[in-house]
Amino acid sequence: MNKPQSKMPLSSHSLGRARSRREFLAQASAVIGVATASSTSLWGKTAPSRNDAALTQLSATAAVSAMRKGELKAEDYANALLDWAERWQDLNAFRTLRPESVREAARAADNKRSAGAALGALHGLPLPVKDSINTRALPTTNGTRALAHFQPKQDAAILRPLFAQGAILMGKTNLHELSCGWTSNNQAFGAVRNPYDLTRTPGGSSGGSAAAVAARIAPLAIGEDTYGSIRVPASFCGLAGLRPTFGRYSDAGVMPLAVNKFDQLGPLAREVRDLALFDSVVTGTREPLEAIPLKQVRIAISPEYLNAGVDPEVGSIIEAALARLASAGATLVHAELPQILRAASDVERAILGYELLDSMANFLKSQHTGVSLDELIAQASPNLAPLLQGARNPGPREAYLGLLQQMQQIKAAALDYFRAHNVDAIAFPPTLMPAFPQGDAQVVEIGGTEVDLFTAIGRNIGLGSCAGLSCLVLPAGLTMAALPVGLEFDGPPGSDRRMLAIGLSLERALGRIRPPPMRARHFLRSSQNL
């Protein structure tokens, strides 16, 4: 990838400006294999043309730059994304989407530019937001019936700098109910589907955000990761996802699953530089991001633990991806995880059992939702009720205090691991298999063997959450069934900008994967004005 122009203030959109015009023109002129319809959409606009389809392929960085320069109207861009969202309604990616509100905000962005006003780093960018993140303009249901009409009084803290820099609230994305699961099989408001295969899960709990970005409904979206809820959807949907160091972004205005332990908001995108743009805006970082050459990067791998037991095809894809990184100059260091770090997932799971209900109850009260914890549990869907009921009696307090102490030991041991092996990151598959059929599976089949879901998904991702690491997921390849496989890179706490800078080079070496296929029935539904 080309390097972004340096020494440019945030308000001038420092990331990607040097190449944005070239990229925009190239992407916008690409021939996208779609049918052109002439009928009027129910959402108030003619069905998408080839140019509209090309706009949906733009990165956030390129789209914003084009809108800031006047090469692209914010309203035209919003219309293209909204029409794409209509074509992909089968995904059930959104809980709430009000097209006219998005168009109105886009027109306001165009008027602001016409008036010569200062433009923000996210000028005109429609941004899907996970429906566990408070928004003043739209309800925040947390994917559950009891909060279906909860209207927060103010936006969550993470949204304020994004909106201040010109982002537009596109809508609220569907999720696993109460963020308590990895499939986004929401029985209250319908399951989210994977755009690569509509019969499969997109991962969870931020499944709607991931599905929207993978389907080109938006280039950038917000998710939330307590126990893999950004990283699993990123892997299953072929995206770049960032779970930053714990505490890097404020979680005020978001229902937590743990009391200041694991919950972390973060972005999902199709390109690392869009993750970097998001991080720059939220943190106020003005320095441009320069790619770090892989010849300067040392990456640890743990074949006997983190790579063990994976689906054979996933294992082959990961092995080939690591070989590409080595060929690009990265130094791969065989460094098995010590036993204490192998316990990270179990420790996090146990702590969540103790803290889940108290965290929810505190949120319900502090946010004046008018809903009690008992009401929340009583109205929860059948597939979630056993988890919530079981959390009522987590166990003795002495055991809980012991778990907290063990978590601190895991954090210290993780730092020791990075220092002892002198590595920038540790690389591994986030999950042991690709996306599986949507539903409420408790076990999945891997290589002909049944494996419980907490092992298949939770084993590897628990380390980043429990140790508070900086976690970046990138696409590694596609299976023979065209299902994405991700590769996770975990760096030390506080290394987020460095991880993103390395990520620019990792992304180049790994290469891009094909987008999900656009199915004919989506075009047919639009042309019939369903």
Q: What are the residue numbers of the active site? A: 130, 205, 229
- In the three-class reduction of DSSP (H, G, I as helix; E, B as strand; rest coil), residue 422 is classed as coil
Q: How far apart are CA 464 and CA 262, in angstroms?
A: 9
- In the three-class reduction of DSSP (H, G, I as helix; E, B as strand; rest coil), residue 378 is classed as helix
Per-residue burial over 185-200, b if 16 or more Cβ lie within 10 Å, else e, is bbbbbebbbbbbbbeb
* Beta-carbon contacts of residue 147 (< 8 Å; ≥ 6 apart): 139, 140, 141, 369, 371, 376
Please spell the DSSP secondary structure of 65-112, one letter per residue.
HHHHHTSS-HHHHHHHHHHHHHHTGGG--EEE--HHHHHHHHHHHHHH
Evaluate the CA torsion angle 100, 101, 102, 103 in order and state its sign.
positive
Q: How far apart are CA 62 and CA 29, in angstroms?
A: 14
Decide: 132 and 121 in contact? Cβ < 8 Å. Answer: no
Q: How far apart are CA 235 and CA 8, in angstroms?
A: 33
Q: How far apart are CA 100 and CA 117, in angstroms?
A: 24
Lateral strand order in the sheet of 264-269:
94-96, 168-173, 126-130, 220-225, 264-269, 240-243, 470-478, 484-491, 425-428, 298-301, 331-334
- In the three-class reduction of DSSP (H, G, I as helix; E, B as strand; rest coil), residue 460 is classed as helix
Q: Which residues on neighbouring strands pair with residue 7, listed in sequence order?
A: none
Q: Is the peptide bond before 205 cis (omega within 30 degrees of 0)?
A: yes
Question: Taking the chain, what is the end-to-end CA distance rounded to the nearest angstrom?
Answer: 42
Pairing of strands 331-334, 298-301: parallel
Q: How far apart are CA 425 and CA 44, in angstroms?
A: 48
DSSP state letter for 455: I
Could you give phi then psi for residue 169, rounded to 5 degrees?
-70, 110
Q: Which residues on neighbouring strands pair with residue 171, listed in sequence order?
A: 128
Tokens describing residue 225: 């990761």
Q: How far apart are CA 278 and CA 280, in angstroms?
A: 5
Tokens describing residue 136: 């003043």
Query: Which of 136, 78, 146, 134 lies closest to 109 in space, CA to CA?
Result: 78
Evaluate the CA torsion angle 156, 158, 161, 164 in order and state its sign.
negative
Q: How far apart are CA 53 and CA 216, in angstroms?
A: 9
Query: Which of 18, 451, 498 lies closest to 291 in space, CA to CA?
Result: 498
